[in-house]
Chains A and B, each alone.
Chain A
Amino acid sequence: MLAWLLVLASGILASTNGESYHEDLVLRPLPKNKLLSSFRFVAEQRDPQLASGELTEYTTFPRSLGQIMSRASTHELHLRFSQGWWDAESWGVPPANGTYAGGVGVEMWAWVAGEDLADAQANWHRLAHSLSGFFCASLNFLDQTVTTHLESDALPRSGDSSDENLYLLRGALPAEPVCTENLTPFIKLLPCKSRAGIASLLDGHQLFDSQWQTMSVDVDHIGDRLRLTQVVSNVIDVPHMQRRRRDPLPRPEPYADLICKEREWSADYICLPDDPRSANWVISEIFDKELAPACPLAGDGPHVFVEASDNWTVKVGGNVTSGSVSFSLGSEPVDLVLSSEDGLVVLENKVPDVFVDRSFTGYGQQSGGLRTVFTNPHDVEVSLVYIENLPWYMRLYLHTMSGDLDIVEDISYTSAEDRTRPSKVQLHIRLPPLSQSSIEYKFDKSLLYIEEYPPDANHGFEVPPALALTSTGYSTRTTSLLLSLAVPDFSMPYNVIILTCTTMAMFLGSFVNLIVKKVVPEPLGEKILVESSLKRRIQAFKTKLIGN
């Protein structure tokens, strides 16, 4: 990721006059035949809102996004769409130290201007609604009940944070599926769309058929300049991709190709297809397309970076090199081939600063617990901020916090309010070298109103991923959790209606009976009894029939 820093520096130099745009792609083989591809597009221009006169002039910065942000008085916007799981233990640090990686689902945070918090929240609401339509995502569900207000400097920010009227709001929708319909508006923001440059490789079928993918949109201010950074990263299982290309139907591997091993947890042999050792990865086979000619707006700088160890051969057009290489796109489409005798040997990954795992403890539908395990794999101390938003129906009890509390230096806590706001736990943690610590707290599960349950209530409720930021700039998110709440009998309201109505009808019935009933002398009563008896009636009927 050193390459990115270089490009960033050159980008700033080039942008002293007017607007600038650059894009780059990093390809990096990961262990076990995985390929990490990371596309980055950075557009910059002078902030059109600052210009005098009535014209708001957009050039490289997309007008559609600028209009949404200025209408919602949003100063800085960060949006993440992610799916899958980044296997930090084997893949190391995600691109750009995890800055552009999101948690599962959709996540948004923004510095929104407002006279007070309520005003800022109204702007946030407007922002979420406009973006929801723009990105075809359910961002409009980012309402007050899932949005937390953080201190203005809780999350890293490129601009100056001196403005007092800015409120940092953050919300996440972990259940949101991320798919092609979100990618199309994302590509529309690019000046060259997907016609030229590295964006030509972006394709929904390929992008979303991956182990992990994340899409980010970041708008921030650098001085009087407005910058839009768009990043798409994904991890592709290359043999799977090649297999799909060879034969779109998934078929079992021939038995002879399976490798059988004795597993430690099982007495039996388990046979699995082996990871192919020799690699021959053709970009046009993996991405379905060749790299198109350069986007004319994107500057000269190298556009594609391949980060690989020396056992890899990289073939670009006619040039063959080994190891890491970078090159610019020309005026002709090029294909890229990554090949290696031993594809399982890749560049050593940087071990993340910290591993954070979160899970539920306890059982039953009344209460539960949250246990978070922090692991420091390095022999230096790590200090980090851990931010967790929990939905209001998890009634958190902070006094139950237990575990290795000596690692916690500071706690900032906002309790939840029913149907109004989620709870926020912000922990400042200092982890000793080579250590593993855990923190646990308990919560009660509350009951919801019947109309608050989603259509598939038994599926459970997604709890948004927690965020961990280290002082070195590494950021990571835990997985989302699935909370199962007690689910009522949904036919209950109708049952209640029926029961109430039946009771009322019963009262009325006996009442009417009482009125209608008449006291008659005994002989008359007997006569009626005889006349209305079944035998007598049958007799009468027979007489009528036979005519006797």
Chain B
Amino acid sequence: MILLVLAAWFAILGPLWLFTSRTYRAPLDLESMRYYEANIDRMVAPRVKVYIPNSQQFPDLAQAVEKIANENLARSSSYRLEVTGDSSQKTDDHITMTIHQAKEVLFAISDTEKDIDMTYTLELVDLGELPSMVSLVLLNHVLGSEIAFFSNHATLAHHVAPYSPAYHLTFSLVYGGGDEIQWDIKESMHRFGALVQKLDDSVANITIDSQVEYYAELGTSPQNNGTHHVLDKDNLSTLVNFAEWSLASTVEYQTLNFVLYIPSPYQSPLVIADSSTNSFLIPQWGGVTIMNTMQHHLTSQDLDPVFDVFASQLLSLLGAPTSPSSPAIRMDMLSRMTTLRALRSTAASLGALVRLYNHMPNIAIPKRVLKHSEAAIEGIKASLHALSSSEWAKAASLAGQAFTNAEQAFFDKEMVAQTFVPSEHMFAVYMPLLGPIALVLFTNFLSYKKLRRLSEQSKKALAEADALAAETKLQVQNELEKT
């Protein structure tokens, strides 16, 4: 009976309580999010196109190279080569490999185009090793650093800036003195612009601004050795005066800073010990170049060497490979590596969202998160498709969109604002309800037990009394009979 009543209570109050204390949790596609996190490395399968012109001497060379190269690659990654010998299929995307006979086996990579010249010897042909030699050159010497990154053998250097779908570049002319100084940055930009254009097309969106800072004191004091003011390694970490110089940026995406520091006449010439370019890189933040000049108008001739240094600093901050020498091949490699980084961090964000979802059952998951996570998954799919059809720029931009969506899903305002409610707080709120109820139930339970005990006792007593009465009755009857 009691249990029945309690069950009735719970049947009424339970759903009411659940209904009033429920938080909205959008039905996320946890399964595929988890799947992408676990398998993204295996799924990124770019097809790199190589063109080896067919010749009468080696009609099957292209197919043989493709077979050997892909057998090698299959051991560690999903990275594949697509080698063709048909000149009608050749496009601008192809790496062109031409082979000649010579006395030695050599190869040369073009400094401008995606061309490789290779020579072979007759012995190599006799041994039947030509295809494997060609694939060795391609895999180890041309695309080596990229393949290592794809097959998880290599990580990027720690100075590489975190992945972002867009980068903002700030060029600051920082002057130690106060007299007016000008730089023809617009003219210098023309030279830098080609690189920026390429990055913008195939890696990430780039925005640029510049500024001039006066009265900028160094954050450190260089040593004066009589002729020079020398900065050694320990000085460099505190050289940029973050508190005083206006370097802070308010753009949402990653900012890379490039500082051209011109010391005041009192600190000139200022040199960095053991640096030929008088420059250094600040990991994940930007680059600094020191220029000693008394000029107050820096022309583009003065600035060109500085901007060459900035260009190489920019590439190394973006994680571009240092070899091969061909910038066109390197740019494609950078594009693919950036896409992989984007996809890896997108998948990691989605995986983190799944864990957050599972670990915090009382956190609200708004509909927006569902929308963004779905868009992220779609973006990953589209980017993977673009990679397998060798559209590097499209793959990079789709991966960037997927990354943005995944970040927005994970860092949703409502989810971040939802602070964790400790269980003691919840207990404090429910205490006034649970306390009295528990007390009532407990005391009633006690009195119920007592009642049970007493009633059993009294039953026994009654039974005894009855027995006694019956006995007495019997005795009385017996005695009555006797008499």
Contacts and interface: CB of A to CB of B under 8 A. Distances in A.
Given A505-B433, A505-B437, A512-B441, A295 B178 contact: yes
A188 B216 CA distance: 11
A177 interface: no
Contact of A511 (B5, B206, B244, B435): B5
A17 to B, nearest CB: 11
B250 A59 contact: no
Contact of A501 (B208, B432, B458): B432
Nearest to B461: A527
A513 B444 contact: yes
Interface in B249-271: 249-251
5 contacts: A59-B212, A64-B249, A297-B179, A497-B432, A504-B433
A527 B196 CA distance: 101
Nearest to A528: B454
Query: For this complex, into which size category does the number of interface residues on chain A fall?
Result: 35 or more
Interface in B171-197: 178-180, 182, 185-186, 189, 193, 196
Given A195-B215, A296-B178, A509-B440, A56 B193 contact: no
B267 to A, nearest CB: 15
Given A64-B250, A512-B2, A527-B454, 9 more contacts: A48-B209, A56-B209, A505-B440, A511-B5, A515-B1, A516-B448, A524-B455, A527-B461, A528-B454
Given A296-B179, A505-B436, A57 B250 contact: no
Contact of B210 (A56, A68, A296): A56
Interface string B430-450: 001101110111001001101
B345 to A, nearest CB: 24
B389 interface: no
B2 A63 contact: no
Interface in B141-195: 170, 178-180, 182, 185-186, 189, 193
B178 A67 contact: no
A54 interface: yes
Contacts, number: 135
Contact of B432 (A498, A509, A516): A498
Interface of A: 48, 51, 53-60, 62-64, 66-68, 71, 130, 133-134, 188, 191-193, 195-196, 295-297, 497-498, 500-502, 504-506, 508-509, 511-513, 515-516, 518, 520, 524, 527-528, 531-532
Given A56-B209, A63-B170, A516-B2, A196 B215 contact: yes
B24 interface: no
Contacts of B435: 505
A64 B186 contact: no
Contacts of A500: 433
B246 interface: yes
A67 B249 CA distance: 8
Interface string B223-257: 00000000000000000000010101111000000
Contact of A515 (B2, B179, B196, B432): B2
Contacts of B207: 54, 56
B130 to A, nearest CB: 47
Interface string B212-225: 10110000000000
B296 to A, nearest CB: 10
Nearest to A51: B186
Nearest to B210: A57
B437 A516 contact: no
B39 to A, nearest CB: 38
A193 B215 contact: yes
A531 B208 contact: no
A54 B196 contact: yes
B441 A55 contact: no
B246 A188 contact: yes
A297 B180 contact: yes
B358 interface: no
B211 interface: yes
A520 to B, nearest CB: 7
B299 to A, nearest CB: 15
Contacts of A516: 2, 444, 447-448, 451
A99 B185 CA distance: 37
A502 B246 contact: no
A67 B172 CA distance: 14
A367 B215 CA distance: 57
A67 B444 contact: no
B203 to A, nearest CB: 15
Contact of B451 (A57, A501, A505, A518): A518
Given A502-B432, A505-B440, A512-B441, A296 B246 contact: no
A54 B208 contact: yes
> What are the 10 A-B residue pairs with the smallest beta carbon separation, nearest first?
A505-B436, A501-B432, A63-B211, A501-B433, A56-B209, A509-B440, A296-B179, A195-B215, A498-B432, A58-B211
